[in-house]
Structure 1
Amino acid sequence: MDYSRKISERLWNLPDKGELESRREETFIDDIIQKSHIEKELLSHLDGIRTVFDGGAGCGRFSILLAKHGCEVTHFDISQPMIDKARELAEKEGVLDRITFVKGALEHLEAFRDSSFDMVISFDAPVSYTYPNQEKVIAELVRICRKRIMISVSSRLGYLPYLANPIQKNQFILDPDCGDPFVKWCVANRADAIEAFRFHREAVGKLWEEGLMGGDEEIAEYERGGAPWCITYTFMPDELEGILKRNGVKNIELAGPGAYARTLPNELLVKMMKNPGQRSDFLDFCHRFDSNPFVCGMGKDNLLAQGEV
């Protein structure tokens, strides 16, 4: 389905995407938790890592982090506004000389040779936006990797609760008065979303069986000139592990960042985030809890997998 790539290109190339995405950790608590978890994992696996490919690197949250730790990073993204923002931030952090910026789609990695990079990473689910090519894309990411691969994809078990919770994002708003347009929308539409909600057993069952969010409606909106959310393939934990194993990845570990936090109300999450000591302790415990394989499927949005090549 070529529409998946075209819809992703249009969405992520909206002019404001770079700026909005760069502020997510100032806006939403679930993003803080997920990025903290990934950072802990990255920094604990840097021995012997010199070169890194960051696929779907966005505004450079991790490419800049790794460059600051001495890695040579290829920052690969489908969005020019994201790349422009990442370049701006990399220059500000003094690591512009350690990052190579490449615009492209994950469906097309043929320009990179086998085992080109010590580490290959792809976070915040860009692989899930490549449907129906998601398995081929994972295979390609493994192909260009020499030592360690670390990816996060959309979690099917993590997404299923969304179909019974139209206000799920409100739980993770850090500051309702921050001015972010999506935050404003979430706050303004909370009551209407609850009033209009009806549980649709068929929709939940369809996602459970097929794993696909979006399709015909998104294609129609795209054809009308709109920029809908990406068609998204959601993975089951054993499915993702199986794909990685078939491509030669060993010692696979799975995690579900956000599994612990999604059990807590917004008021308590905000209180902990605004207290530096509590915040640090909470993020450390989230990492420990969310790394337990028994909860890996219930991460907030993403299923994180890593292993050795």
Structure 2
Amino acid sequence: MDYSTKISERMWNLPDKGELESKREQTFIDDIVQKAHIERELFSHLDGIQTVFDGGAGCGRFSILLARQGLQVTHFDISQAMIDKARELAEKAGVLDHITFVKGALEDLSAYTDRSFDLVMSFDAPISYTWPNQEQTIRELVRIAKKRIMFSVSSRLGALPYLANPLQKNQFILDKNSSDSWVQWCLNSRQQMIDGFTFREENLLKTLDTGLLCDVEETKEAYDRGETPWCITYHFMPDELKQILENCGVKDVALAGPGAFARTIPNEILVKIMNDPEQKKDFLDFCHHYDSNPYVCGMGKDNLFARGEIG
């Protein structure tokens, strides 16, 4: 088993992962923006879709959404904790009869024949966690798609500001009184992160060149010591992702960078917008319009979104 699979399995199976992931849109504004963008794309491109494969489906944010539309969805994830949470939420939504839950790693889709699903989707970067097999993973996901694909992967240009801004997540905290442990850590560690920060050009240039933020060997060693490091994550350039998809036979590839507009706005204004339903709707509408512009697609907050047609 590759390190990418072993590390991902350990991290996403942490006991609280399913619960925390299911509440991200109640906690962070960047998650609201990204999920709203994807939801709009899905609802705009369901023509001819009856069967769906959701790879790295997590706690079911989109598999349950599509099951509610009467589609038959295969919810595929590496984490039993995520699947258990998704099943719980699917039961509450009354859509268990529209979802098949499968535990597995994206690196192995051999159980599925060519063109098995009308729509194949994979959101919030599970493809990027399969490094160094990310291109093969994309090929396999395209292989099992009959009509359409929708992916979001980690964005290289969008991720580089992380290395120059240790406070980047603070910008998107929706409620500073939240009991979420990550929110409170971000707030309580603010000055410590500022004091400990040093700008290192070589780190950014290395990531720009390789697409990797972490030291791969250090991450592997941490895993072998019994720790739970973040997954080794490959970050794509926009033209790179488009070329890979086109080489797989995907047509009419469209890219977007969810969060590109929102990341330009300070926290106080974002919170004000989110707390006013009318402003929030208008803001998310404009974000989708702005973030879909090809000139900003690489600067999405975390992910690079891609949509394309098969055949």
TM-score (norm 1): 0.99
Alignment of structure 1 residues 123-138 onto 2, 5 Å: 123-138=123-138
Partners of 1:87 and 1:72 lie apart in 2 by: 15
The question of 1:304 aligning with 2:305 is answered yes
Aligned counterparts, 1:97-136, within 5 A: 97-136=97-136
Q: Which residue in 2 is equivalent to 1:194?
A: 194
**1:87 partner letter:** R
Give the match for residue 283 of structure 1: 284
For residues 138 and 2 of structure 1, what CA distance do their matches in structure 2 show?
Answer: 17
Tell me which residue corresponds to 2:52.
52
RMSD, aligned CA? 0.7
Query: Any stretches of 5+ residues in structure 2 without a counterpart?
Result: none
CA distance in 2, matches of 1:92, 1:176: 29
Deviation digits for residues 38-79 of structure 1, max 9, x if unmatched? 000000001110000000000000000000011100000000
User: What secondary structure sits across from 2:296 in the alignment?
Assistant: helix
Moved over 2 A (4+): none
Figure out how many residues of one structure are paired with residues of the other and give that number: 309
Superposition pairs for residues 5-154 of structure 1, below 5 Å?
A: 5-154=5-154
How far is the alpha carbon of 1:213 from its aligned partner? 2.3
Deviation at 1:233, TM superposition (A): 0.2
Aligned ranges for residues 232-247 of structure 1 at < 5 Å? 232-247=233-248
Alpha-carbon distance in 1 for matches of 2:69, 2:296 = 31
Deviation at 1:281, TM superposition (A): 0.6
1:162 maps to 162
Decide which moves more: 128-137 or 221-230.
221-230
SS at match of 1:84: helix
The structural deviation recorded for 1:177 is: 1.2
Amino acid in the other structure paired with 1:6: K
Q: Partner letter of residue 33 of structure 1? A: V
Percent identical residues: 70
Q: Which amino acid aligns with 1:119?
A: L
Pair 1:229-2:230 in alignment: yes
Whole-angstrom distance in 2 between the partners of 1:61 and 1:265: 27
Shift of 1:240: 0.1
User: Which residue of the partner structure matches residue 249 of structure 2?
Assistant: 248
- CA distance, structure 2, for counterparts of residue 202 and residue 189 of structure 1: 25
For normalisation by structure 2, the TM-score amounts to 0.99
Tell me the distance in 2 between the aligned counterparts of 1:221 and 1:168: 25
Give the match's secondary structure for 1:58: coil
Q: 1:176: Cα distance to partner?
A: 1.3
Q: How does 1:169-188 map to 2 (within 5 A)?
A: 169-188=169-188
Equivalent position SS for 1:294: coil
